[in-house]
Chains A and B, each alone.
Chain A
C-alpha cells in the first residue's frame, strides 16, 4: 500500500532526514547543484551542526527542523514526519544505525542509497569489496524495511570508477546522484530481484589494508 505513495516522489515534494555527517553534506550539496529541492529537511544531532552543512542550509529554500538527538528512532522525529504529510523521505543516517521506528517502516517510504549492487553486496563499505572483486561500482536505491540493506529496490545504476576522487568521497557522490536520478525519474518502477539473499555474503567493515588495496586498483 505505502509503495503506491511513490508516485508522489518528485522535486519539491519529498523530505530528507539527515545525520550530522559528511555524507549528508554531500547530499545537500548535490541537491542544490542539480536543483532538486526537498520540502522539508530534518537534521538530527546531539552536537552542533557542522558549519559546512549550516552554510548549505541557508541556501536551501525549504522548511528545516533541527533535532537534538543522535538516534533516528527518537519519537520527536517520527512526529514531525507524520505531521508534515510528506509520503517519501530520503535518509542519511549515522554509520551502523538501524531504523526501528514503526512510522518510518510502515507509514512512509524511507528511501536509502547504498553503494553496492543489492543483494550481491549487502553490508558495510561494499564499494571497496566490489572494486577488489570485479572492478565495478554500483549504487542501489531502495525503500528501507526492518532488515539491513534489504527492501524494495527502486533504482540500480552502474558508475564509472573514480579518477579524481578517493573511494570514500566517491561513495557519497554516487549515492547522491542515484537519489537525484530517482527523484527526477518520470515513471518509477520497482525492481524485482529473486529472493536469494541467503546465497550472498554479508560484508562487514573493510579492513584498512583492503581499503588501501582498493584505492590502488584505481590507479
Chain B
C-alpha cells in the first residue's frame, strides 16, 4: 500500500524539484515516471470531481489582477465566437513567452511587457492561458509543452480555492492534455 502511495506521489514531488530548476537538468526515462504522471493527473481530476459536487462559491478579489482580467475578456470573446484582434493574440503570445521563460506571470505588465507589479497573478490566469494558447499560430508541440507546464503549476495551489466555473475548465484542460499525450505514445 505504501508503495502505491509513493508511486502516486512520485510525479508531483519530482516535478516540483524540476520546476525549481526551471526544467533544466532533469531527465527521467523510466516507464514509472510516465505512469506516475498519468496517475497524478487522474488524481487531480477525481479531486476536481469531488469539489464540483460541492458547488463552492468563492469570492476572490481580482480587480488588481490586470493580467487575469485581460485574458478573461479575450476568453469571453472566444466563447461567444466574436472576432479576436491581432493585438489580443499578441498579448496571449507575450504571456506564453513570459511563462515559458520565467514559469510565472505577474499581475500587471506595461506596454513593453515589463512587469509593473511584482506579485504573481492568480491560478485562474494559468487555467485561461492553457485554453488560449491553442489560439496561437505555433507548433502543436510548443502548445503542449506550455500546457504541461501550466498544469504542473496546480501542484502549488489549493484546488479548494477555485470556484465551480474554473474547476470545470481545469477538468477539461487536464482531460485534453492527457488525450494529447496519449496520442504521442
Contacts and interface: CB of A to CB of B under 8 A. Distances in A.
Main SS of chain B's interface residues? Answer: helix
Interface residues of A, number: 22
Given A203-B139, A205-B23, A205-B24, A212 B145 contact: no
B29 A215 contact: yes
Contact of B142 (A203, A208, A212): A203
A4 B139 CA distance: 36
A132 to B, nearest CB: 6
A204 interface: yes
B149 A212 contact: no
A205 B149 CA distance: 10
A213 B29 CA distance: 8
A133 B183 CA distance: 12
A193 B30 CA distance: 39
Contact of A208 (B15, B101, B138, B181): B15
A166 B27 contact: yes
Interface in A171-216: 200-213, 215-216
A89 interface: no
A168 interface: yes
Given A201-B139, A208-B14, 5 more contacts: A208-B27, A208-B33, A212-B27, A212-B33, A213-B185
A95 B24 contact: yes
A201 B142 contact: yes
B84 to A, nearest CB: 19
B168 interface: no
Interface of B: 14-15, 18, 22-24, 26-30, 33-34, 37, 100-101, 138-139, 141-142, 144-146, 148-149, 152, 181, 184-185
A129 B141 contact: yes
Contact of A216 (B14, B18, B185): B185
Contacts of B142: 201-204
Centre residue among A133, A201, A207, A210 by max chain B CB count within 10 A = A207
A39 B9 CA distance: 52
Nearest to B152: A207
Given A210-B148, A211-B27, A212-B33, A205 B181 contact: no
A132 B27 CA distance: 16
Nearest to B100: A204
28 contacts: A95-B24, A132-B184, A133-B139, A202-B142, A203-B141, A204-B100, A204-B145, A205-B23, A206-B145, A207-B149, A207-B152, A208-B15, A208-B26, A208-B27, A208-B28, A209-B33, A209-B148, A210-B141, A210-B144, A210-B145, A210-B184, A211-B27, A212-B28, A212-B29, A213-B34, A213-B181, A213-B184, A216-B185
Nearest to B137: A201
A210 B26 CA distance: 12
Given A208-B15, A213-B185, A201 B138 contact: yes
Contact of B37 (A200, A204, A205, A209): A209
A209 B180 CA distance: 12
A210 B152 CA distance: 13
A209 B181 contact: yes
A166 B141 contact: no
A157 B84 CA distance: 41
Contacts of A213: 34, 181, 184-185
Interface string A50-83: 0000000000000000000000000000000000
Contacts of A168: 27
